[in-house]
Chains A and B, each alone.
Chain A
Amino acid sequence: YSTFPMSPKWKKEDVTYRILNYTPDMLQADVEEAIAKAFQLWSSVTPLRFTRLHSGQADIMISFAAGFHGDFYSFDGPGGTLAHAYPPSSGIGGDAHFDEDENWTKFTTYDGYNLFLVAAHELGHSLGLGHSNVFGALMYPIYTARDTRDYRLPQDDIDGIQALYGPPRESPALPTTALPPQESTEMTPAEAPTEMSPREEPTETTPSKAPARPEDCDPHLTFDAITTLRGEILFFKGSYVWRKSPYFSEIEHDTISSFWPSLAGGFDAAYEVDKKDRVIFFKDDQYWAVSGYNIEPGFPKPIQNLGFPTSVRKIDAAVHDQNTKKTYFFVGNKYWSFNENTQSLERGYPRKIAADFQGIGHIVDAALQKNGLFYFFHGANQYEVDVKSKKLIRIMKNNSWFNC
């Protein structure tokens, strides 16, 4: 590996980034996911944390442009130079530019360049790394198409970036200085419990009339279930749904019956099998399968159809791992792994949650996978976990997804 002359680096751990524009080659959501995944590569092996800004000046400004684009290094049309980025410093320092004359893609096909791979390389420069002459290293100057589904940072790159910033902190990477509230809903150490405590029964009163929808930014907001659905995220509580779409900045407020009139509220768990365009809802000892607005015929079915013993009366939370095609079901302080291909629970389960998900104590209210990371919700907090490195990354308020 190499660094730039004088080894410039960011003198802080909280680095901001902003996506200034998009390539027409890809969905905006795919661009955002590629960039976020690229940042996660680097944050997972350093103490660095990256926060995305939607306006103003960020440390790392990301943009697409062709030919001359305002700096001294014009792009050269299709092929040749794909992108470039500047080492850490003020102004243009850290910025990453991508050549719009290339065909950008989220796949690893051979008729386009995988944006995640190129972005991960360029962000290496934005953090202070130069090129590596180790073939196969991410910082090798020549683009090499490779499978990105379970992409792990090569050791040479880890050595390089840790020479600049050191390894990740042991404890969950909580901000040492809280970012201004509008920038982050991460908790200060004083607030953040180190582990999930046994379920605190929500002290909900039994109101005589239908409970009003809690405020989006209520710091005590809890959820019954959460799932992705065709690129969006749905948060369920009682009969209410909060809908977060990558296409609109606002959170949409709906009721379950507005999507699935025959489904009553109060889901216990929900998850999406993206490859089948199918979402599964759980309530008590039954489950439903829907595709979009359509409930599949023959539902509800008893959860024992999935292989659960009769001792299991309800599911607390469920989440499908798009990488491994396994679904995790959380019941009390244990969890099961379900193979979506064979449609059967895997052997060797149930296992204790705490054994495999660092920092996650007992009950999981809801679970979500987004951009390769897992989010476990318990009470008013969510725990961001990298299951590959089994690392608890940070603890945030549940409603960090609602731009609070």
Chain B
Amino acid sequence: FPVVPEKEKDMQFAKKYLQNFYDFKEEKDSLFKSKNLNHMADKIREMQSFFGLEVTGELNHKTLDMMKQPRCGIPDIRS
């Protein structure tokens, strides 16, 4: 199979993290990919704010490191 580039792998990991803990719902049938990316950026901001990180909406190293910490399986934010 083609090797998934690191960036893409991190993006997948982050997406799953935000789904699990920040109620991120990806709109599968959305025609506008950018809409999902904006929605995901909002959720990244929410997570950065919860952990007191700089709120950028970007999946930077610090944010990714925080996502990889061992943790409890209960969401931080829930609908």
CA distance A80 to B20 in the complex (A): 11
Are B78 and A84 touching (Cβ within 8 A)? no
A113 at the interface (CB under 8 A from B): yes
Are B78 and A83 touching (Cβ within 8 A)? no
Of the listed residues B21, B74, B78, the one surrounded by the most CB atoms of chain A closer than 10 A to its CB is B74
Are B70 and A84 touching (Cβ within 8 A)? no
Instruction: Please pick, from B51, B70, B74, the residue contacting A133 in the complex, using a CB distance under 8 A.
Output: B51
A81-B73, A130-B74, A131-B72 in contact; A141/B52 too (CB < 8 A)? no
Least CB distance from A142 to B in Å reads 4
Are B70 and A131 touching (Cβ within 8 A)? no
Least CB distance from B17 to A in Å reads 9
Least CB distance from B38 to A in Å reads 24
CA distance A313 to B20 in the complex (A): 66
Chain A residues in 8 Å Cβ range of B21? 141
- Mask for A1-16, Cβ within 8 A of B = 1, else 0? 0001100000000000
B 52-79 contacts with A by CB, 8 A = 52, 66, 68-76, 78
Of the listed residues B68, B73, B75, the one surrounded by the most CB atoms of chain A closer than 10 A to its CB is B73
Are A142 and B69 touching (Cβ within 8 A)? yes
Are B70 and A141 touching (Cβ within 8 A)? no
Are A131 and B76 touching (Cβ within 8 A)? yes
Which B residue sits closest to A134, measured CB to CB? B52
Chain B residues in 8 Å Cβ range of A233? none
How many B residues are at the interface, by size bracket?
A: 10 to 19
Chain A residues in 8 Å Cβ range of B69? 142-143
Are A142 and B71 touching (Cβ within 8 A)? yes
Are B72 and A121 touching (Cβ within 8 A)? yes
Least CB distance from B48 to A in Å reads 11
Which B residue sits closest to A102, measured CB to CB? B70
5 nearest A-B residue pairs (beta carbon): A84-B73, A81-B73, A142-B69, A143-B70, A142-B71
27 contacts between A and B (CB under 8 A): A5-B78, A79-B68, A80-B71, A81-B71, A84-B72, A84-B73, A85-B74, A102-B70, A113-B70, A118-B72, A121-B72, A122-B72, A125-B72, A130-B74, A130-B76, A130-B78, A131-B74, A133-B51, A133-B52, A133-B76, A135-B52, A141-B71, A141-B76, A142-B66, A143-B69, A143-B71, A143-B72
